[in-house]
Structure 1
Amino acid sequence: MTAIEVRELRRTYTSRTGWLRPRRVVTEAVRGIGFDVGRGELFGLLGPNGAGKTTTIKMLNTLLLPTSGTARVLGHDVAREPVAVRRRIGYVFGGDRGLYERLSALDNLRYFAELYAVEPREQKARIAELLELVGLLGRERERVEGYSRGMRQRLHIARGLLHKPDVLFLDEPSIGVDPVAARDLRRTVADLRADGTTVLLTTHYMAEADELCDRIAVIAGGTIRALGTPEELKSRVQERDILEIEVYGADEAALERLRGLPGVRGVAAEERGAAQSLTVQTDRGADLHGQVLAALDGIRVGRIGSREPTLEDAYVAIVEASGSAAASVPAEEVGA
């Protein structure tokens, strides 16, 4: 049975620029996407910053109206039946907003239980159950202002589950969380799926998506570029080799030289302190070490290694193939 149905969903924004000659600029944030999420499924929505992930989630949980298209959550239309949708869903977002820091975790949950209309006779047992689920039992009487970021995120999840939602939206819940806390969050999310909760997760952490998600959709430039299980997405780059190169001071011109080499299928750079980590995807069996080093002539090179492709490599390949690692672009400009 389907928990979420999305058909040709679009969202555009209109803004005005200029003063003497103002223009109306129409930006398409989401461009006719479609997908289904089954009951009890943990579904990942991945994409670069501004790709349309959060806009999509906000339309699905009724915080934004679609410009066109349809979306249904548990059979209810998000535009025409927002109250019915809100009764059945929970929404947890990354960051520190949404909690009262000078209250204890227990008082926060009591307050939100009232807002969510949880029956008074059920509140005590429900709060205790959730505190145990997210690993905060024994710390619930401490003020939230003394909590670590990981503890706050776990409290966010408890808050979002107070009214026993059938569908839970997790929008980058582990952002800024240390590795130990992130591991605890992943365990909590996995427990939710095991209990039958449908979860739609957005994240920038590919290992997290690979570990948790039953299926993944990759969105870039406001459209769905790929959809499948983590293994199906990884199969797109199984015929590639991966070179990892530590460099210092590589500029965009050097990256373009690498991308122009025959046999190179993709190049990504990540800042790591004073160094950069270059990930170069090449055709399987192509020995391009010499050509790659020649393209980096004049740039200090550290360690060089090779490895098997991962979900992150598949994600990079999908986004680069889309021709847009950035998000929505102006679709139309109209004179005032």
Structure 2
Amino acid sequence: MTTDLAIEAVDLARSYRTRTGWLKPQRKTIDAVRGVSLEVGRGELFGLLGPNGAGKTTTIKMLNTLLLPTSGSARILGYDVARQPLEVRRRIGYVFGGDRGLYERLSALDNLRYFAELYGVEPREQLPRIHELLETVGLKGREKERVEGYSRGMRQKLHIARGLLHRPDVLFLDEPSIGVDPAAARELRRTVADLVRGGTTVLLTTHYMAEADELCDRIAVIASGTVRAEGTPNELKDRVRKLDVLEIQVHDAVGEEHLRRLREIEGIERATAETDGTVDVVTVHALPSHGSHASVLAALADLRTGKVTTREPTLEDAYLSIIDDTAATGSEA
């Protein structure tokens, strides 16, 4: 079966029945995914972004046959995930973030031997394939060490090697960089980019916007179980390109009253505050034509402000704008 699409989902939905309460238990239906439609071409690196609980992992689990859709349909390389799950599983790999899925008392080599048997890799091909993957993910020379002594980054590399043992055409990466230090995350990004250059189709979920911006050919933002925006990283950034982004360092605590004042200024589209433990940073998205910079500083006049910088909007700014628009419509679950 041949198709130009590696992944195709049409109105994919998944609902759960849950029970709440003890004395008077009530049953409730939760719509985790509410009609997701996607098309991912062969050899594409496609990002799926969204807040916790948006439906990203549920969507991936339906696409890789771990969950049956409540409604809608999905195909991987032309094979239906519900009616032809074995055909789909032969052609996909799944890598998730965290420490699950590896045997800590075994070496990396023995882990990969075990999973090679599970994945049906021909016995004569197992060792050559394992050594090839250890080289690919940068674990060559460390393969005889027990996994319990591995760092988080090394474990994630081993997860990727495990997911590639049977040479999948499509690889699902569910937050592979979670908890990984910056150096290890950079190496993981390099490994993923190399896989795509080699022809593997990758669907990636991540909370790291810089990672998505660097790696992804196209991105879909999902919230409340539906796709809210889709396009290349630059196309998504174009949604907020008209705005100036001001970042103001503040040496006092920024309260909700300050943010309310900022949001009431004409031309201000967003105002948020974060702290690194020593200084607050107020981020304001403003229309430059309204001359709102002076008004912003006036709204913070009772606080000790420091450095003020203006920068170009980033993918994170675009993502937050899309999520805020979702919440403003009242459709957030």
When the two structures are superposed, what TM-score results if normalisation uses the length of structure 2? 0.94
Superposed counterparts of 1:179-218, under 5 Å: 179-218=182-221
Shift of 1:190: 0.2
Contact 2:65–2:82 (Cα < 8 Å) also in 1: yes
2:22 is matched with which residue?
19
Kindly indicate whether residue 229 of structure 2 is the aligned counterpart of residue 221 of structure 1. no
Kindly indicate whether residue 283 of structure 2 is the aligned counterpart of residue 279 of structure 1. yes
Shift of 1:322: 1.3
Distance across 1 between alignment mates of 2:106 and 2:58: 31
Kindly indicate whether residue 292 of structure 2 is the aligned counterpart of residue 288 of structure 1. yes
Q: Give the 3 Å change call, closer, same or farther, for CA 296–202 of structure 1 in structure 2.
A: same
SS of residue matched to 1:323: helix
When the two structures are superposed, what TM-score results if normalisation uses the length of structure 1? 0.93
SS of residue matched to 1:180: helix
Q: Single out whichever of 212-221 and 303-312 deviates more from structure 2.
A: 303-312
Q: 259, 265, 284: which one pairs with 2:263?
A: 259
Superposed counterparts of 1:1-336, under 5 Å: 1-247=4-250, 248-323=252-327, 329=333
Contact 1:220–1:326 (Cα < 8 Å) also in 2: no
Deviation string 1:277-333 (CA, Å, 9 cap, x unpaired) is 33211113433233223333544433321101111111111111112699962xxxx
Distance across 2 between alignment mates of 1:325 and 1:180: 39
Distance across 1 between alignment mates of 2:63 and 2:256: 38
Contact 2:116–2:166 (Cα < 8 Å) also in 1: yes
Q: Which has the higher contact order (CA 8 A, sep 6+)?
A: 1
SS of residue matched to 1:44: strand
- Unaligned stretches of 5+ in structure 2? none
Shift of 1:84: 1.5
1:334 is matched with which residue?
none
Contact 1:173–1:203 (Cα < 8 Å) also in 2: yes
CA RMSD of aligned residues (A): 1.8
Q: Single out whichever of 93-102 and 181-190 deviates more from structure 2.
A: 93-102
The sequence identity of aligned pairs, in percent, is 69
Partner AA of 1:203 in structure 2: T
Partner AA of 1:69 in structure 2: G
The count of corresponding residues between Structure 1 and Structure 2 is 329
Distance across 1 between alignment mates of 2:40 and 2:304: 47
Partner AA of 1:72 in structure 2: R
Deviation string 1:20-63 (CA, Å, 9 cap, x unpaired) is 44322222111111010001100000111111111111111111
Q: Single out whichever of 136-145 and 270-279 deviates more from structure 2.
A: 270-279
Deviation string 1:58-117 (CA, Å, 9 cap, x unpaired) is 111111111111111111111122121111110000111111112111111111111111
